[in-house]
Each structure stands twice: as C-alpha cells, then as structure tokens.
Structure 1
Amino acid sequence: MDCPSTTAWRVAQHRAKHQILDRGTIFPDPLACPILGLNEQDQDLTHDQPGEKSFRSFLAIRSRIAEDKLANAFKRGTKQVVILGGGLETLGLRGPCSHKNVTFFEVDSPAMHVWKQRHLASLGLCVPSSLIFVSVDFETGTLIKDLITAGINATQPVFFSWLGVVPYLSRSSIENTLQSAAIFPDSEIVFDYGEPIENYSGHHRALMEKRSKLVESFGEPWISRFQPEEMHSLLQNTGFDDILDFDRNRIASYFGWPPVHATQKASPHVVCARTRNNKD
C-alpha cells in the first residue's frame, strides 16, 4: 500500500468491511471493495478486529447521513457537490450513475490526487467527466480560488461533504474552510468532529487515547477537537445556521434504533448546517 494517507486507506478498508461483515446495512457502497483492488473473499476484509465494529459503524453512519442530506439537496436543484478531503471516497465515481447533470469537485492534496488517479487507472476504474479533482492545501486558505479555477459556479448552490477531515486540521484552517463554504448561496455542509478526549471516561477514554496514538504514529495526528457548543458557535460565526448536530442519541433516533442509555456522555458527532440565505 503506497497511498500517501494511511488513515484514508484504513477508512476505505473499514468501508469495505462494512459491506462484507455488516452487509452494508447502514451504507451500501458498490465500489468500496473495488477501489481497494480487493474482493469480498480477501482476508483483510473478512476478519474483524477487537473494538472495530463500533468505529466501522460510525464511518458508515456519517456517510449515510451525508448522502441522505445530499439527496435532499438534489431535490432542491443543487447541481454542484464539493467533496472536501476526498481520500478514497467513491461518491464522485458513483455520482453519474444516479445523478445526471451534477458536477463533483473532489478536493485533496496534490500527492493524494496524483496517487488516486494512478491507482484508479491501474484498477481499470473509470473517472467520469463529471468528477473534477481540485488539489488544495487546506492550511493555505485558497479553497475558493481553486474551486473557481476548476470551474465551480459561485452564483449557484453547493453541497459540501467533509468527512473524516476536521480532526486533522488546525482551528484556523477549519474556520477558513467554513467561511469559504458559506460564500456560496444556499450552501450546505455535512461533516464530523470529535469531542476532547478528556470528555471521555473509562474504557472509552482508553480507546480514544489508543486511536490518537495510532494516527499520530502514521504522521497524521489529531489536531482539533471541539466541545459541541464551541462547534455550534463557530458555525454561526462563519455564516451557517439550521445546525443539526447528531450525537449518539440523535443518531439512534435518526435510524430508528433504541435510545442509547450509557454513563458515557461524550460522543462522536455528525453535523449538518446550511447558510442563512436558504429559502426553505
């Protein structure tokens, strides 16, 4: 595996495992295994590791919520989708199969894009003309300029999918990205974030500390984590409202699952927000 991002590759593995071990019950993705160059009998995808299922489920949950919200945006007439931190995401590859006349802009680092396009070609996976790769360094703050150069229409609505990225960015970069997204009319964004590790207790805290050390060992450390009220304030200050923050209990309600009764108060979060100039 020569992918520039170890975490991106591991997330893709979890997505594929969800298709096999969990039958894709939360989030079906027909390209989850093909994009890894693996099949459903591959040993790397058929063995569960201790403590892995809950994390794998959350990855499926955030993708499902994002694409449910995207489906609603399509109904409102949105024709532009920006995938921030594309990694091995398959949305831009799957999009043309179900969404005609929609342009997908996949944003990631130059190194990731060079590798991904070479990787897709080696697997014989076609990149549709509706998918445009936009190379951006999130820390430099040139997102708007680069998207416009790539052909995005700044006068039309945009849906932003920003999954698995926020913890790896500085707070100033996160704020700049939100401000950039809010510039577009009727902008909507879905992303996930984590609470400070100190909010967790018991074995949950030990698990979070273990994961933190793991990603740091990959050279991709967690940099930013937020109290929910901090994140809501940041969204409002950058131009977003209609904020819907899914913690574990709201996630359970969304999927029709039983309420979560736990002494653990901290939770992973998925957030959906729209700009103040939305019409409905």
Structure 2
Amino acid sequence: MPNGQPSHTAAMAAAARAAHLVVDHEPRIFTDPLAERVLGEHAAELLGYHRAHGDLPVLAGARAQAVVRSRYAEDRLAASRATQHVVLGAGLDTSAHRSDRTVFEVDHPATQRWKRELLAAAGVPEPPNARYVPVDLAAEPLAPRLTAAGFDVTRPAFVTWLGVTTYLSWAAIDHVLAGLAGCAPGTELIFDYLLPPGARDGAGEDYAALVGRAAAERGEPWLTCPAPVEVDAHLVACGFTAAHHTAQRDAVAPELWRRTDSLVPTRLAVLARTTLSRPL
C-alpha cells in the first residue's frame, strides 16, 4: 500500500467482478451481486470504463482473470469440509456474505478500514460470520493475529490468496507461507500467480505490458512472476505439497468458454492448489 492508502487493485478487481454481470453475456462464470454496491460512489466511474470499452483486451482480460479465480476458489471451497475460511489480501472480497463458515478476512489495515467504510456507506451489513484481521502481510506475523481473532490452529482451514502474490517479493511470500505453516496439516491453500515473460501467450504478454506498467505507476509494481517449478520449491520448503497448477482455460468448466462476448482465456494467470503436509 503506497503511503498507507487503500489498494487501487482491490477496487479494480471488484469492478471487474461487477462489470461481468452488466457487460458480458451468458453463461456467467461468477456472480457477485454485492461487488457494485461495495464500490459505492466509485462504481459509476469504474464500471463506466467496462461499459464503454468492454471489448478492449485489457478490460476483458481483467474481468476474465477476476471471475475465473473467484469461481475456481469458491468451487473448491464448496467441496471442502473446513469450517474456517481465511481470505488473505481480502480487498473488497464479498465471499463472507455468501458463506455459512467463519471467514477470517486478512488485509492491510488501510484497505480493510476502507472496505468497512464502503460497506457501511452502502448500507450493507457486515456478515456475522466475518472476523477482520488487520495485518501488513509483507511485514507482520500472521499466526498470532489469526489466533487473536479466534482462529483455531488445531483444525484444518481453507485459505484463499487471490490477486496478491504478484505484488509481493519472494521474501514476503515466504513470510506468509511460514505463517500459514502453523495451521493444522490438511489445510488447503488456493492462490494465483502470473507467469514470467516467455511463458505467456501473446495476449498474456500484451496484458502484462499494459497492466504491469499501470500498476507500477500507481505504486503497486509487479514483483514476482514465477515459473511453476519455482512456486513448488517455495511451497515444499514451507511444509506444503507441490501444487496442482491450473491454467485459466482449465479452471472452469469448458462450456463457460463457449461465449459470444469478448471473454477468452489467456496464458498469463495460473491457479495453484496445495495442502499443508507438515508443520514448519
């Protein structure tokens, strides 16, 4: 967060989820009816870009990336028996509003405070199952903040970490993984990452060139775009299994890509699924 300000990328991700419902055609990949409301006074401007220029690859790519990772994560959550869901780098995530599990929303204090202000301004009650955990993931210890919020380290959890790792250094990523390694074995982690240059397709390279430069100009530069083998090495070193890596095209059912709009899968973002196999 530059200068302690809330994350601009969190707003862009929420706008992409909201715009999917008003710009793209059926079939819906993911439905987040609260995303537009949470954006409040920012919604008209941010959704206006998608309404006016939704066919541009950079905007269509942002929508595809946001809704595919959300759909994949919530499908995996539905199949999980875990009663605790940890959302790392929650941003303007609304999954707690759709869940009957205890949801621990972890984010930078500035972004979390901003989100709660937006919910209040929109008249959206905070869900009773939500536990807010303000943490600077890049610098502060995660485990004690979770336990202080009521997290039970003796029971396996389901953890999602979406749209975040690209903006962290490897040192910061390992710091978070080490914090999660104190959870019970069997804890499942879903996260996404962006592939390095040369491993992307043409559309992925074009998106990275435009969005990566814009993110850097806003003070949120892309710091880590690893190859899958590099991801696995860090996971295993922190007590997790090697990941199951899923490309955007394969992260949702094939029929969801039979479309008449501008959403197409690209080879840029990868979803990783791993399980904590031993304590650190």
TM-score bracket relative to the smaller structure: 0.7 to 0.9
Q: In 2, Cα distance between the equivalents of 1:154 and 1:81?
A: 12
Q: Given the alignment of the two structures, is residue 81 of structure 1 paired with residue 69 of structure 2, yes or no?
A: no
CA drift at 1:201: 6.1
TM-superposed deviation, 1:238: 1.4
**Shift in CA distance, 164/243, structure 1 to aligned 2, threshold 3 Å:** same
For 1:7, the aligned partner's letter is: T
Q: Distance in 1 between matches of 2:201 and 2:60?
A: 20
Please tell me whether the aligned partners of residues 141 and 173 of structure 1 are also in contact (alpha carbons under 8 angstroms). no
What amino acid sits opposite 1:31 in the alignment?
Answer: L
Query: Deviation string for 1:90-149 (max 9, x for gaps)?
Result: 112232xxx2xx211101111112111111111100002211111101122410011111
Against the structure 1 CA distance between its residues 131 and 258, is the aligned structure 2 distance closer, same or farther, given a 3 Å change threshold? closer
Partner of 1:10: 12
Q: Deviations over 1:211-252 (max 9, x none)?
A: 111001111111111011101121122122262110245336
Distance in structure 2 (CA, Å) of the matches to 1:248 and 1:130: 30
Amino acid at match of 1:94: R
Instruction: Please give the residue correspondences for 1:112-131 in structure 2 after superposition, counting only pairs within 5 Å.
Output: 112-131=111-130
Partner of 1:262: none
Provide the C-alpha distance between the structure 1 equivalents of 2:62 and 2:17, rounded to a whole number of angstroms.
10
Letter in 1 for 2:73: A
Structure-1 separation of matches of 2:249 and 2:15: 26
Is the CA contact (8 Å cut-off) linking 1:4 and 1:112 kept in structure 2?
Answer: yes
CA distance in structure 2 between the partners assigned to 1:176 and 1:226 by the alignment: 17
Q: Which has the higher contact order (CA 8 A, sep 6+)?
A: 2
Matched AA of 1:136 = V
Whole-Å separation in 2 of the counterparts to 1:109 and 1:170: 16
CA distance in structure 1 between the partners assigned to 2:132 and 2:202 by the alignment: 42
Contact 1:19 1:32 in 2 (8 A): no
Provide the rounded CA distance (Å) in 2 between the counterparts of 1:79 and 1:204.
Answer: 36
Is the CA contact (8 Å cut-off) linking 2:61 and 2:207 kept in structure 1?
no
Q: Pairwise CA RMSD of aligned residues?
A: 2.4
Distance 1:266 1:65, change over 3 A: closer
Corresponding residue for residue 261 of structure 2: none
Distance 1:249 1:26, change over 3 A: closer
Distance 2:153 2:173 in 1: 20
**1:21 corresponds to:** 23
Q: Does 1:199 align with 2:199?
A: yes
* Equivalent residue, structure 1, for 2:67: 60
1:8-30 per-residue CA deviation (whole Å, 9 max, x = no partner) reads 11111111011112257111112
> Does the Cα contact within 8 Å between 1:245 and 1:271 map onto a contact in 2?
yes
Structure-1 separation of matches of 2:133 and 2:209: 33
Change (3 A) 1:71 1:242: farther
- CA, structure 1 residues 248+152, in 2 after alignment: closer, same or farther (shift >3 Å)? closer
Partner of 1:50: 56
Give percent identity, aligned residues only. 32
Separation of aligned partners in 2, 1:181 and 1:121: 31
1:197 CA displacement: 2.5
Count of paired positions: 260
How many Å separate the matches in 2 of 1:18 and 1:203? 19
Which amino acid is the alignment partner of residue 23 of structure 2?
L
Structure 2 contact 205–268 (Cα < 8 Å) conserved: no
Aligned residues of 1:106 and 1:131 also touching (Cα < 8 A): yes
Separation in 2 of the partners of 1:249 and 1:191?
A: 16
Structure 1 residues not aligned, in runs of 5+: 260-264
Runs of 4+ in 1 over 6 A off after TM superposition: none
| Equivalent position SS for 1:125 | coil
Query: Given the superposition, is the C-alpha separation of residues 248 and 44 from structure 1 closer, same or farther in structure 2, using an over 3 Å criterion?
Result: closer
Alpha carbons 1:7, 1:218 under 8 Å: kept: no
